[in-house]
Structure 1
Amino acid sequence: MGKVGIFGSSFDPITNVHLWTASTVAHRYKLDFVIFLPSSHQRPDKRIHISDDHRWKLIRLAINDNDKFVANDYEMNQHAWDIATYHTLEHFKKVYSDDEVFFIMGADLLVDIGEGKWKKTKELVHENKFIVMARNDIDMLAVIARSPILRNADDGQTFHLVDKGLAMETSSTFIRDEFQQGGEPRYLLPEKCYEYIKNNNLYQNREKV
């Protein structure tokens, strides 16, 4: 049995922190590979600033030289009403039926799940495994303890908390703002991605390209 990590995000744009996070999690948890899963632009809780085509190309550029990284456009191709992390994980557990599948996320999302903000929350936490990364001084153990949904699913195998040395906070929002304001975020994302963004004039105005 292998181990597969599902790393979902807008990747708008993908950053060096995304790559470093995926690499570190794969190393610590002995994952065979990490799937970079860009979210659909149709999701009502997301505002995407560039086209799916550009985001997809940026991800491919960023992970091209790492054989433990895989890009998958499954959620990009789903209709808005079908999109839910529960359904997405059901899909990948069928694809990788002989492997152990983990959903990689930040502690901020753990808070949202604990508050019941996600679709099919109870089924999601009872039927899946999560690798949760530290974020913004969030006490992950306290989040689990405060939430009946989370604490009743916490069997020692459901939540794998990464709270040491994995809390870099440079965000895609910061990079977008730097591009828009004429800043220089060159070394916050892969060089090939930086060049692609500059050459295609992405994030440098408020209109979606």
Structure 2
Amino acid sequence: MAKIGIYGSSFDPITNVHLWTASTVAHRCKLDKVIFLPCSSKRKDKIMKTSDEHRWSMLQLAIYNNDKFVADDYEMLQDAWEVYTFYTMEHFKKKYPEDEVYFIMGADLLVDIADGKWKYDEELISSNKFIVMARDEINMVKTISRSPILRNHDDGTKFHLIDKGLSMEISSSYIRDEFSKGGEPRYLLPDSCYDYIKKHELYT
């Protein structure tokens, strides 16, 4: 049985922090595979700065030389009203029925679940396992404790909390801003993606 982590983001563009985070999580949690899952551009709560084609191409360039990294366009192909993490996890559990599948997320998303901002939250929490990464000094244990949904489904194996060494702050939006303002973010993302952005004049 393999251990698989589902790592969703806009990846607009993918950064070295995304790659480092995925590698660190895979190492610490003994994952056999990390699936990079670009989100749907049709979601009303996110506005992509470039096309799905470019996001997908940059993702492929970024992960091609790591056997543990896989890209999956499942959410990119879904209509916006069908994109919920509960549905996504059901899809991947059916796709990998013999394996253990984890959803990788930041502690900020854990707070959103605790605050009742996610649809199908109880179904999601009751039927899945999570790898939660520290964010902005959020107390993950307290977040779980204050939420009836989170704490009542926590059997000791539900949440794998990673609270050390994953608080790098360089974001895709920072890199986009650097490109748009004539900055130089070269070493914040893979060279192949930097060259791709320059070639296609993205984010300018």
TM-score where L is the length of structure 1? 0.96
Residues 17-56 of structure 1 aligned to structure 2 (within 5 Å) = 17-56=17-56
For residues 55 and 4 of structure 2, the distance between their equivalents in structure 1, rounded to whole angstroms, comes to 22
For residues 117 and 39 of structure 1, the distance between their equivalents in structure 2, rounded to whole angstroms, comes to 18
**Conservation of the 8 A alpha-carbon contact between 1:38 and 1:73:** yes
Amino acid at match of 2:26: A
Residue 20 of structure 1 and its aligned partner are, at CA, apart by: 0.3
Aligned alpha-carbon RMSD (Å):
0.7
2:21 partner SS: helix
Residues 59-138 of structure 1 aligned to structure 2 (within 5 Å) = 59-138=59-138
Aligned partner of 1:8 in structure 2 is 8
For residues 146 and 186 of structure 1, the distance between their equivalents in structure 2, rounded to whole angstroms, comes to 42
State the Cα deviation string for residues 82-117 of structure 1 (Å, max 9, x = none).
110000000000000000000001111111111111
Counterpart check, 1:185 vs 2:182? no
State how many pairs are aligned: 204
Aligned partner of 1:153 in structure 2 is 153
Can you give the 5+ residue segments of structure 1 that lack an aligned partner in the other structure?
205-209
Aligned partner of 1:207 in structure 2 is none
Can you give the 5+ residue segments of structure 2 that lack an aligned partner in the other structure?
none
**Conservation of the 8 A alpha-carbon contact between 1:135 and 1:169:** no
For residues 138 and 180 of structure 1, the distance between their equivalents in structure 2, rounded to whole angstroms, comes to 31
For residues 170 and 113 of structure 2, the distance between their equivalents in structure 1, rounded to whole angstroms, comes to 23
Which runs of structure 1 show a deviation greater than 4 angstroms over 4 or more consecutive aligned residues?
A: none
Amino acid at match of 1:162: I
Residue 18 of structure 1 and its aligned partner are, at CA, apart by: 0.3
Bigger mean CA deviation after superposition, 18-27 or 141-150: 141-150
Identical aligned residues as a percent = 68
State the Cα deviation string for residues 97-141 of structure 1 (Å, max 9, x = none).
000000001111111111111110001011100000011111111
